[in-house]
Amino acid sequence: MDRQSLLPLLDARLPLTEEGVAEAARLAGVPLAQAWGVVRHYPRYRGLPQGRLLVDDPVARARGFARLLREADGTYPPMGLEALSPLFVRIEGKERYVEEGGRLVPFRDFRLPFALGQGERLLPPEPILNLRAYERVGGLQALRGLLGDAFSPHDLIQAVEEAGLLGRGGAAFPTHVKMRAVAQAPSPKYLVVNADESEPGNFKDRFLLEHHPFLVLEGALLAAHAVGAEKVFLYVRDEFAAAIQGLEQAIGELKEAGLLTKPTEVFHSGGLYICGEETALLESMEGKRAEPRLKPPFPVEKGLWGRPTLVQNVETLANLPLILKEGPAAWRLKEPKLFSISGDVARPGLYELPLGTPLGEALERAGGSPKELKAVLLGGAAGVFTRDFAVPLRYRERLPIGAGAIVAFGKEVDLWEVLLGLAHFFQEESCGKCFPCPLGTAIQVEMVKRRERSRALVHDLAQALKGSLCGLGQSAYWAYQSLLEVEDAA
């Protein structure tokens, strides 16, 4: 990065004073106005709420939210913790803890339980946290192959194309198209790993970062070489403190072994849902408010600091070593995808399943019984409620799978209560840059509160939100519209 970014400068001065903000602005070479706009945008600079906070996620909403809230001083947004049951976090000054079984676990020590579902899979069956263990399972062979001229950057992109890998962050854009565009663009250029997973019900990237940091890093280095990026940035959700620590340790081990073939650094994300939107992510890395840019131009053309940038999701990159190891044709036959399955199933956790697996079968793998479920939220907050258990979990199918979140709800759950949580989430997370999204998400909360079922009104809400600048607003009504369909079908 050619310039000093404002966010790390502010981070170094927490808790912020006016002098601290002014100093950070000076060092970043930006007007105080810009720094102040940033401070008034991100929660951790505005000042975190204090006390015992209920994580407001779909599972908490399905488990008597009002009662749970009485035990709390407020709410906290979801961040990949919602695997098992309602959860509280505690914030004391700068320190953040997760409440787990009556214990307070600091964020830096908290990892998701290793609960990879059984079955055929490509991911190593246990956590791989050091270089030697990673090499024992065949790790780094792909990277060594690329560096040792066993195959070229062109071959690597070709393999990704033959494998048919689609981006695993939710948008399902063909990975090779982005890679090729950046590979052909002029230098300098960058690779940014989008590890800001914030989709409620989704914890696959968090899992990969916490348990397979070397796999993620090898994938990132492969991609960086393939496109000729000078530098790799991992933009990681700030709350994933254990993951950040693990990644930094893994980067250190690779460096020591002389295998860190590109400068690689971890960037602490802004800590908001919108930070996962690729252009908002880039704005935030440039020290601005995390707000989406107008596209075009796309990041492959004008990304970080205006340079061509490949922005890829964690799971997408983790697949690159696997594609090379298996061979693109064999990988394509398996088409592995990680699904975060939670809610009313006996064995919530992370499941690697082939794309095309029917929803009902995925639920049964996790010990859920479709017959006993009222509905499933497929794809997270930007997803849909459904009872279509036969739908194949595949991109561009009749229902969106997004990043692969599946939250199951039993017969006794009030889905309108769950929907209200999602509506609140969108209202809170809307950045406010364009007009339809902040207005529409606020209206939506009121409509859901009064359980508005007018088809005409919901249709018009949808029509207007579709005109939003980015995917956040454009998908904010999906769950609402789909709940009405589920009710109609019942």
Give least dist CB 148 to another protein, A.
45
Compute how many residues bind another protein; rule: CB under 8 A: 44
Segment interacting with another protein, rule: CB under 8 A, options 27-35, 93-101, 203-211, 318-326: 27-35
Segment interacting with another protein, rule: CB under 8 A, options 32-40, 113-121, 249-257, 308-316: 32-40
146 versus 461: smaller Cβ distance to another protein: 461
32 near another protein, rule: CB under 8 A = yes
Segment interacting with another protein, rule: CB under 8 A, options 84-92, 218-226, 383-391, 422-430: 422-430
Residue 297: is the preceding peptide bond cis (ω within 30°)? yes
DSSP 253: H
33 near another protein, rule: CB under 8 A = yes
The string of DSSP letters for 28-67 reads: HT--HHHHHHHHTTSHHHH----EEEEE-SHHHHHTTHHH
Give least dist CB 226 to another protein, A.
30
Candidates 37, 127, 370, 471; binder of another protein (CB under 8 A) is: 37
Give least dist CB 438 to another protein, A.
4
463 near another protein, rule: CB under 8 A = yes
464 near another protein, rule: CB under 8 A = yes
Candidates 279, 316, 427, 482; binder of another protein (CB under 8 A) is: 427
298 near another protein, rule: CB under 8 A = no
Instruction: Measure the CA–CA gap between 158 and 325, rounded to whole angstroms.
Output: 14
Give least dist CB 165 to another protein, A.
25
Instruction: Measure the CA–CA gap between 7 and 193, rounded to whole angstroms.
Output: 17
Sign of the torsion formed by the C-alpha atoms of 299, 300, 303 and 304: positive
From the centroid of its chain, how far is CA 442? 24
Q: How many CB atoms lie within 10 A of CB 476?
A: 28
Candidates 34, 130, 141, 249; binder of another protein (CB under 8 A) is: 34
Give least dist CB 37 to another protein, A.
4
Instruction: Measure the CA–CA gap between 295 and 288, rounded to whole angstroms.
Output: 17
481 near another protein, rule: CB under 8 A = no
Segment interacting with another protein, rule: CB under 8 A, options 36-44, 77-85, 191-199, 353-361: 36-44
15 near another protein, rule: CB under 8 A = no
Distance (Å) of CA 161 to CA 76, 328, 335: 40, 8, 13
Instruction: Measure the CA–CA gap between 7 and 54, rounded to whole angstroms.
Output: 27
Classified as helix, coil or strand, 176 is helix
Q: What are phi and psi of 478, to 5 degrees?
A: -55, -45
Q: What are phi and psi of 414, to 5 degrees?
A: -85, 105
List interacting residues with another protein (CB under 8 A).
Answer: 18, 21, 31-37, 40-41, 272, 289, 294, 427-436, 438-443, 445-447, 450, 452, 457, 460-461, 463-464, 466-469
